[in-house]
């Protein structure tokens, strides 16, 4: 009885292979069950089709990458999954994403049926209408001659075209596809300059170019000379007793960030301890974005940002990043309402 129980509890080594190694759409693919044991089989081929045969065959109608799974005796622990790439006999390319929005990274991958390992050359290109002005994309690769292309879109577009030139064994193929790129809502930073008001939308670690807007009430109401924090009204005149050079301030997470008279941007604990200078250049305006926990400030070189300081002694290890090169800013406001 003990021997039987040990045999029953032995882990089944589930495995399978498939042939051919480089299948193409419309070609029959044979799956060979290499499992150590079992009586019932459930195959899922990644395109919605299934089979209960021990060694099934399947035909993929479309090129792409599919995840194939084999479950033995209906046990979730007895299962193996593998990816299979199905090629088109004509070179093409795919993207794992099916929907596209601005300021998100996407990878496009060439699919070239090449069972004889011929030399392959790739050249990605993106058709642009000269009348559009600036490009609607940014390529993040150093070259566009690899089998993959990485980019993000900087503005919404109803028909964003991606192209690929493939040279295989002397034969050239051109492939072009179009994608709908949607806009998405995000928070913004507003600026008031001597040339008017601007809005710059922020997307994770990227941002679109600042755009001129009609005078915004957030900027009308923006001030850094007083703030209610934890039910107490902090005023500039009161804080000058602790920080004599203070000209403007914002408070968040028991930290005070302030711009000093000719002395740049500083952070300190709310009780005045551990003053640390963030930027030595004169600070013209600053604000805090409590939604994304960032501080933004303007100086003669433009607008900069960095995460809130989190350490008890206010030492920070992140390097300030430049957001833009706008000049003559005298008010900044963070807009956490998605636009």
Q: Do residues 315 and 222 share a domain?
A: yes
Task: Please determine, for residue 136, whether its predicted confidence score (pLDDT) is greater than 70.
Answer: yes
pLDDT at 209: 93
Considering only 6-15, 79-88, 171-180, 235-244, which range has the smallest mean pLDDT? Answer: 6-15
Q: What is the pLDDT of residues 207-216, one digit of tens each?
A: 999 999 998 8
Going from the C-alpha of 173 to that of each of 10, 76, 94, the distances in angstroms are 53, 44, 15
Share of residues in the chain with pLDDT > 70 (%): 97
In which band, very low, low, confident or very high, does the pLDDT at 36 lie, cut at 50, 70 and 90? confident
Share of residues in the chain with pLDDT > 90 (%): 78
Task: Please determine, for residue 187, whether its predicted confidence score (pLDDT) is greater than 90.
Answer: yes
**3-state DSSP call for residue 186?**
coil
The Cα 249–Cα 324 span in angstroms is 22
Task: Please determine, for residue 159, whether its predicted confidence score (pLDDT) is greater than 50.
Answer: yes
**CATH number of the domain encompassing residue 50:** 2.60.40.10
Last residue within a domain, chosen from 128, 154, 182: 182
Q: Where are the beta strands (DSSP E) in 77-217?
A: 79-86, 92-95, 100-101, 106-111, 120-125, 137-139, 148-153, 157-168, 171-182, 188-193, 196-203, 206-207, 211-213
The Cα 17–Cα 195 span in angstroms is 67
Q: Do residues 42 and 13 share a domain?
A: yes
The Cα 309–Cα 134 span in angstroms is 36
Task: Please determine, for residue 9, whether its predicted confidence score (pLDDT) is greater than 90.
Answer: no
pLDDT at 131: 81
Q: Is the peptide bond before 139 cis (omega within 30 degrees of 0)?
A: no
In which band, very low, low, confident or very high, does the pLDDT at 11 lie, cut at 50, 70 and 90? low
The Cα 102–Cα 276 span in angstroms is 37
* Rounded to 5°, angle at Cα 134 from 132 and 137: 105
Matching residue, tokens 């994770």: 204
Task: Please determine, for residue 1, whether its predicted confidence score (pLDDT) is greater than 50.
Answer: no
The Cα 126–Cα 19 span in angstroms is 36
What's the whole-number mean pLDDT along residues 83-103?
92
What's the whole-number mean pLDDT along residues 14-20?
95
Matching residue, tokens 């960030």: 257
Q: Do residues 321 and 235 share a domain?
A: yes
What's the whole-number mean pLDDT along residues 128-133?
81
Q: What is the pLDDT of residues 37-77, one digit of tens each?
A: 899 999 999 999 999 999 999 999 888 899 999 999 988 88
Q: Do residues 223 and 306 share a domain?
A: yes
In which band, very low, low, confident or very high, does the pLDDT at 281 lie, cut at 50, 70 and 90? very high
How many residues appear in the chain?
339
Last residue within a domain, chosen from 182, 211, 239: 182
Q: Do residues 108 and 71 share a domain?
A: no
Residue pair 257/288 in contact (Cβ under 8 Å)? The answer is: yes
Q: Do residues 221 and 324 share a domain?
A: yes
The Cα 157–Cα 152 span in angstroms is 12
Q: Do residues 267 and 164 share a domain?
A: no
**3-state DSSP call for residue 237?**
helix
Task: Please determine, for residue 84, whether its predicted confidence score (pLDDT) is greater than 60.
Answer: yes
Q: What is the pLDDT of residues 216-256, one digit of tens each?
A: 899 999 999 999 999 999 999 999 999 999 999 999 999 99
The Cα 277–Cα 98 span in angstroms is 46
Q: Do residues 192 and 328 share a domain?
A: yes
Q: Do residues 291 and 211 share a domain?
A: yes
Indicate the pTM of the whole model: 0.74
Can you say whether residue 272 is alpha, beta or left, with left for phi > 0 and alpha for psi between -120 and 50 degrees?
left
pLDDT at 7: 45
Q: Where are the beta strands (DSSP E) in 243-314?
A: 246-252, 255-260, 264-269, 276-279, 285-289, 294-299, 302-307
**CATH number of the domain encompassing residue 147:** 2.60.40.1080
pLDDT at 10: 54
Domain span holding position 44: 2-86
**DSSP secondary structure letter of residue 220:** H
Q: What is the pLDDT of residues 313-324, one digit of tens each?
A: 998 888 999 999
Nearest in space to 302 (alpha carbons), one of 281, 319, 287: 281
Mean pLDDT (the chain, rounded): 92
Can you say whether residue 320 is alpha, beta or left, with left for phi > 0 and alpha for psi between -120 and 50 degrees?
beta
Which residues are bridge partners to 203 per DSSP?
A: 206
pLDDT at 237: 93
Burial of 50 (0-12, 13-18, 19+ CB in 10 A): exposed
Provide the domain count of the chain: 3
Q: What is the pLDDT of residues 259-268, one digit of tens each?
A: 999 789 999 9
Q: Do residues 259 and 149 share a domain?
A: no
Q: Do residues 106 and 170 share a domain?
A: yes
Q: Do residues 59 and 101 share a domain?
A: no
Task: Please determine, for residue 3, whether its predicted confidence score (pLDDT) is greater than 60.
Answer: no
In which band, very low, low, confident or very high, does the pLDDT at 5 lie, cut at 50, 70 and 90? very low
Last residue within a domain, chosen from 147, 182, 217: 182
């Amino acid at each position: 009885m003990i021997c039987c129980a040990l045999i029953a509890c032995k882990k089944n080594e589930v495995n399978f292979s498939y042939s051919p190694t480089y299948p193409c759409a419309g070609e029959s693919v044979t799956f060979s069950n290499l499992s150590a044991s079992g009586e019932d089989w459930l195959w899922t081929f990644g395109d919605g089709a299934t089979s209960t045969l021990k060694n099934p065959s399947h035909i993929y109608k479309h090129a792409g990458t599919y995840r194939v799974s084999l479950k033995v005796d209906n046990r979730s622990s007895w299962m193996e999954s593998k990816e299979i790439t199905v090629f088109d006999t004509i070179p093409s390319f795919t993207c794992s994403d099916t929907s596209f929005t601005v300021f998100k990274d996407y990878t496009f991958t060439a699919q070239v049926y090449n069972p004889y390992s011929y030399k392959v050359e790739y050249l990605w290109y993106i058709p642009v209408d000269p009348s559009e002005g600036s490009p609607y994309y940014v390529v993040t690769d150093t070259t566009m001659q690899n089998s993959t292309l990485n980019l993000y879109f900087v503005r919404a577009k109803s028909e964003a075209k991606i192209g690929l030139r493939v040279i295989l064994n002397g034969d050239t193929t051109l492939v072009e596809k179009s994608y709908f790129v949607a806009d998405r809502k995000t928070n913004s930073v507003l600026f008031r300059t001597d040339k008017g008001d601007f809005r710059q939308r922020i997307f994770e670690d990227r941002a679109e170019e600042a755009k001129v807007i009609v005078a915004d009430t957030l900027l009308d109401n923006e001030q850094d000379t007083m703030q209610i924090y934890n039910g107490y009204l902090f005023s500039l005149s009161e804080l000058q007793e602790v920080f004599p050079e203070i000209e403007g301030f914002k408070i968040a997470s028991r930290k005070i960030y302030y711009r000093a008279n000719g002395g740049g941007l500083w952070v300190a604990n709310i009780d005045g301890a551990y003053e640390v200078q963030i930027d030595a250049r004169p600070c013209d305006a600053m604000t805090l974005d409590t939604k994304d926990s960032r501080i933004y400030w303007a100086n003669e070189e433009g607008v900069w940002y960095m995460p809130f300081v989190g350490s008890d002694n206010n030492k920070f290890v992140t390097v300030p990043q430049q957001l833009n090169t706008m000049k003559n800013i005298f008010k900044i406001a963070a807009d956490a309402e998605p636009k």
